[in-house]
Amino acid sequence: MANQRNYQKEMEQVIERQKQDGYVPALLLHSCCAPCSSYVLETLSKDFSITVFYYNPNIYPEEEYWKRVEEQKEFIRRLPAQHSISFLEGTYEKERFYQAVKGMEQIPEGGERCFACFRLRLAEAVKVAKKGNFDYVTTTLTISPMKNATRLNEIGEEICRKEGVNWLPSDFKKKNGYKRSTELSREYGMYRQDYCGCVFSMREREEKKRNEKEHLAESSKE
């Protein structure tokens, strides 16, 4: 069995090499939402010039999408950064998401439906990174304890190899990254949603809330 890769350490090694060369690379950072981007931007803006690429056609409902867009813009505006951070919004292509996950609607969150969604969003990010001649591309998604960092990196690397783009390996939840993101969310008074973003995760969350409520009601009768 092969040793499990330490993506956080690999990222640190990339950063150290760039520092030794005295070069500030351009990074296209796919972001799923402002709270998840908070720690990532705080730490990576010390070593990269960053363009935040907001491409998330999975977000449901539409008002939730626009709320997240504005929250992302506002956080970038307010965050003190050593190097530049700019914002680039992708197209809100809901039908592309539904087509990508067709036939997987009933698969629980964290499975193949999510991987198809990752692939859709990362493929678009890599395409933009290639067109814009960015030095690296990566995603904020690995900060979530609910997301499979290994699969995210595998998908990102696979697409990058095909397109001739450099993937920046990451596991942002490491070294208290997720904890720091929650602290920054509170510090900046950010809207922090309680579901991943798609209609399927929203339904799962609502069902979980109903079950918890029913369980509580049953317990109170005993």
From the list 133, 135, 140, the residue with the least C-alpha distance to 118 is 140
pLDDT at 194: 82
Per-domain boundaries in the chain: 7-192
pLDDT of residue 1: 46
Residue 222 has pLDDT above 70, yes or no: no
pLDDT at 93 (0 to 100): 97
Strands 49-54 and 136-139: unpaired
Per residue in 1-29, pLDDT (tens digit) is: 456 999 999 999 999 999 999 999 999 99
Placement of tokens 């069995």 in the chain? 1
Q: Distance between CA 197 and CA 120 in Å, rounded? A: 15
Mean pLDDT of the chain: 94
Question: What's the rounded Cα separation, in Å, for the pair 175 and 178?
Answer: 8
pLDDT (average), residues 186-200: 92
For residues 63-87, give the mean pLDDT.
Answer: 97
Type of residue at 100: A
Q: How far is the C-alpha of 122 from the C-alpha of 220, rounded, in Å?
A: 47
Span 161-168, mean pLDDT? 98
Over residues 197-215, the pLDDT tens digits come to 999 999 988 887 777 666 5
Helix 112-131 crosses helix 149-163 at what angle (to 10 degrees)? 40
Looking at CATH, the fold of the domain delimited by 7-192 is given as Rossmann fold (3.40.50)
**How far apart, in whole angstroms, are the C-alpha atoms of residue 153 and residue 138?**
9
Banded model confidence at residue 219, pLDDT cuts 50, 70, 90: low
Q: Is pLDDT larger for residue 206 or for residue 76?
A: 76
Q: Where are the alpha helices (DSSP H) in 164-198?
A: 177-187
pLDDT at 159 over 70: yes
What pLDDT, on a 0 to 100 scale, did the predictor assign at position 217?
A: 61
User: pLDDT (tens digit, 9 = 90+) per residue, 120-142?
Assistant: 999 999 999 999 999 999 999 99
Q: How far apart are CA 115 and CA 56, in angstroms?
A: 14
pLDDT at 204: 87
Tell me how far apart the alpha carbons of residues 189 and 194 are, in angstroms, rounded to a whole number.
Answer: 15
Which pLDDT score, from 0 to 100, does residue 214 have?
62
- The answer to whether residue 221 scores a pLDDT higher than 70 is no
**Residue 220's pLDDT is what?**
62
